[in-house]
A = this chain, B = another copy of it.
Amino acid sequence: MPASHILLIRCSDEPGLVFKITGVLFAHGLNIIRNGEFVERADNTFFMRTEFAGPFEAETLTGELRQALPAAADIRLSDNRPKNIVLMATKEHHCLSELLVRHAFGELNARVLAVISNYPKLGDITRQFGLPFHHVSHEGQTREAHEQEVLAVLAGYQPEFVVLAKYMRILSSEFVAHYANRLINIHHSFLPAFVGASPYAQAYARGVKIIGATAHFVNEQLDQGPIIAQSVIPIDHTQSASEMAQAGRDVEKIVLARSLQLVFAEQVFVHHNKTIIFD
């Protein structure tokens, strides 16, 4: 398959947008591989994602699109190459292992630069896959000091995305602000049910019959960021909170991996507190 590019447009809606945009692409002789549009009626916003192939000069193309589109249109051209990412984890291995394995076999559409953890436990599996592991302990530190240390390590890698693969510490608004819409978390419940700590214990206490997991962008409010993907499994009264946790792991890792696949392929727009996801 030849290298493809992705055009991402967000602007206020008006008649003729698809016609104008595809007109620019057609005039350049570019071949549309896949195309999707969506209008959010609530605030009259137009979204379009177009995957195309063919030679073009980025500045010219963007300039012509800017001419054709409403003022303040958000136009982005992506070359669809693997993203540079850093993974963060705590003690549980399942999400980290899942991503390390996919990375090792070229299935993650990303380059994992390093793993950061507040515990040493996952160092072995990380190094086994030939990747740098940074143990940044939070013990005996203020949250601010600890986050500064993590940010310093991250700064050394300049990642495009930071993935919280069961990183079990709450991040401050200041930390989050450094990676706005670039910080992805897996929460082990079907949000907005069971926000915060110990969702499986909460689910057990409530007696629910289904549990789930939620991958979302992190914003300054705990477990309130834009949801990317969710999935669920049935449970019953015979399962203890820890058995639920065990059953939930498979859901968590698959949901996280799927959300990364969507984000790294530029299929996800963040719009206010929601995501718009193109096939």
Q: Known: A19-B23, A31-B15, A105-B93. Is A227-B254 also a contact (CB below 8 A)?
A: no
B232 touches A232 (CB 8 A): yes
- Closest B residue to A278 using CB positions: B237
**A36 CB, nearest partner CB in chain B, Å:** 8
Residues of B within 8 A of A192 (CB): 193-194, 206, 208
The answer to whether the Cβ of A128 comes within 8 Å of any Cβ in the partner chain is: yes
In the complex, which residues 105-138 of chain A have their Cβ closer than 8 Å to any Cβ of chain B?
105, 125, 128-129
- Closest B residue to A251 using CB positions: B254
Q: Known: A227-B206, A227-B207, A275-B207. Is A18-B41 also a contact (CB below 8 A)?
A: no
Contact of A206 among B37, B98, B207, B273 (CB under 8 A): B273
Residues of B within 8 A of A35 (CB): 18, 37
How does the 8 Å CB contact mask read for A184-228 relative to B, with 1 for contact and 0 for none? 000000111110000000000111111010000000000000111
A250 touches B240 (CB 8 A): no
Q: Known: A22-B18, A26-B19, A236-B277. Is A191-B212 also a contact (CB below 8 A)?
A: no
Give the A interface residue count (CB, 8 A): 61
CA distance A19 to B254 in the complex (A): 38
The answer to whether the Cβ of A141 comes within 8 Å of any Cβ in the partner chain is: no
A15 touches B19 (CB 8 A): no
The answer to whether the Cβ of A276 comes within 8 Å of any Cβ in the partner chain is: yes
Residues of B within 8 A of A25 (CB): 19
B193 touches A209 (CB 8 A): no
How does the 8 Å CB contact mask read for A27-43 relative to B, with 1 for contact and 0 for none? 00101100111101100
**A186 CB, nearest partner CB in chain B, Å:** 14
Residues of B within 8 A of A38 (CB): 237-238
The answer to whether the Cβ of A143 comes within 8 Å of any Cβ in the partner chain is: no
CA distance A230 to B237 in the complex (A): 13
Q: Known: A22-B18, A190-B193, A192-B193. Is A279-B208 also a contact (CB below 8 A)?
A: no
Residues of B within 8 A of A257 (CB): 250
- Residues in A lying within 8 Å of B, measured CB to CB: 15-16, 18-19, 22-23, 25-26, 29, 31-32, 35-38, 40-41, 93-94, 97-98, 101, 104-105, 125, 128-129, 190-194, 205-210, 212, 226-232, 234, 236-238, 240, 250, 254, 257-258, 273-277, 279
